[in-house]
Structure 1
Amino acid sequence: MAQGFKGRCFCGDVKYTVTEEPIAFVVCHCTDCQYASGGGPAHIQVVPKDSLKIDDASKRITDYSSKADSGRLVTRHFCSRCGTPMFETLEVDPSIRLVKSGTMDDASKLKVDATVYTASAQPWAHIDRTTQLFERDLVFPFERKGG
């Protein structure tokens, strides 16, 4: 994958740039991500917090916070106009941001590094068994296979 990437919401009101290579590409099957996505898992780029630059969109982003199974807050950020899920902030690790892979301008060359919360995946969900699998949350360090 290229060093960084750009993306936007469905309506184009929220645009962003990530200036560094992602730490990992993770597919999350936790029940919270299933609710937030409308049924399937979340496809997430884990990036360093300071590498995410949002183009003057603070007035167009709406937040919703909930407790994860860790007991810590997860704040989901989405476009207030079209509702596109964009980013997540984790209280458990404030040094990273989660960027929804479907918002990337070009996600065609991504390779999944890890699949998490496989224990709560729906029976009909596809789980790529060539990735590192975690029944619950990601455990570091893990060997990055994607790129």
Structure 2
Amino acid sequence: MTITGRCRCGACNYAIDVPALPPVYACHCHICQRASGSAFSVQALVREEQLTVTGPVIVREIVTQDSSGPRTSAQRFCGECLARIYNTNTRRPGIVVVRAGTLERSEELACRAHIFTNYKQTWVTLDPAVPQWGEAAPPDAFVAALLA
């Protein structure tokens, strides 16, 4: 199955070759709130080789440091409208993080996990049946939640 997506203006288009709509998660950290200009961001994780992008893409690398050490996030934006499309991260080689709102059929996606909920906006109500973590999720539990 090929799932498509695009930026706001349509200059950047992409296709993801996957067997079904990808699972998505919501991140409530302050970095995602600032990057999205909203209460949280919603992402889909897919393998890098599954993604094909056409159109003008601008790459901006952001280096951050935490208790696990430094990491580099390479953010990809449409070169025309500057919509953030996806990113890669040195801590997850071979994985791309696609902004779920840029996917066609995004209304069909189901959020499978919430991370960094210690920072969520007080007016946001989460479904208690969906796994959630106050900070970063343990990798094994996070993958299990996404694949559930």
Structure number with the higher helix fraction is 2
Same fold by TM (over 0.5)? yes
Between the aligned partners of 1:65 and 1:130, the Cα distance in structure 2 is: 35
Name the CA shift for 1:68/1:81 in 2 (closer, same or farther; >3 Å): farther
Aligned pair partner of 1:62 in 52, 58, 61: 58
- TM-score w.r.t. the length of structure 2 is 0.84
Structure 1 match to 2:5? 7
Are the counterparts in 1 of residues 116 and 134 from structure 2 also a CA contact under 8 Å?
A: yes
Deviation, 1:23, is 6.0
Structure 2 match to 1:83? 82
Structure number with the higher strand fraction is 2
Aligned ranges 1:98-109 → 2 under 5 Å: 98-109=97-108
Kindly provide the amino acid, as one letter, of the partner of residue 17 in structure 1. Answer: A
Unaligned runs of 5+ in 1: none
- TM-score w.r.t. the length of structure 1 is 0.85
For residues 114-147 of structure 1, the C-alpha deviation after alignment (integer angstroms, 9 at most, x for no partner) is: 1111112222333332211012223232334678
* Matched position secondary structure for 1:108: helix
Unaligned runs of 5+ in 2: none
Between the aligned partners of 1:88 and 1:44, the Cα distance in structure 2 is: 10
Instruction: Give the CA RMSD over aligned residues.
Output: 2.1
Percent identity of equivalent pairs: 24
Report runs of 4+ in structure 1 exceeding 4 Å deviation.
Answer: none
Name the CA shift for 1:93/1:73 in 2 (closer, same or farther; >3 Å): same
